[in-house]
Amino acid sequence: MASTRPPFAIGRSGYRIAYYAHEINHCPGCGKSHWLMGRMTAECAYCSTALPLNEGAMVGNGLFRGKTGKIPAPLAA
């Protein structure tokens, strides 16, 4: 029988470290605060510790959103 419980609940997962945009984020590995930003993670420029982005990478080119139900038009390129 299938479980009705969601596989992952953020509120019940305990302490989760993440990168918060528009705030000063200190690296948990070395304590410095210079980051290389990606779409899904931020990586410390000194020790390469990677943290997930708190915003979840819902912005940027090439990302599709399923809430509207519309299929995006094909790219002209």
CA distance 55 to 19: 8
Q: How far is the CB of 54 from Zn ion (least distance, A)?
A: 18
CA distance 5 to 8: 9
Q: How far is the CB of 51 from Zn ion (least distance, A)?
A: 10
Looking at 18, 21, 29, 39, which residue binds Zn ion (CB under 5 A)? 29
Token readout for 47 is 């020790």
Q: Note whether 41 binds Zn ion by CB under 5 A.
A: no
Residues near Zn ion (CB under 5 A): 27, 29-30, 44, 46-47, 49
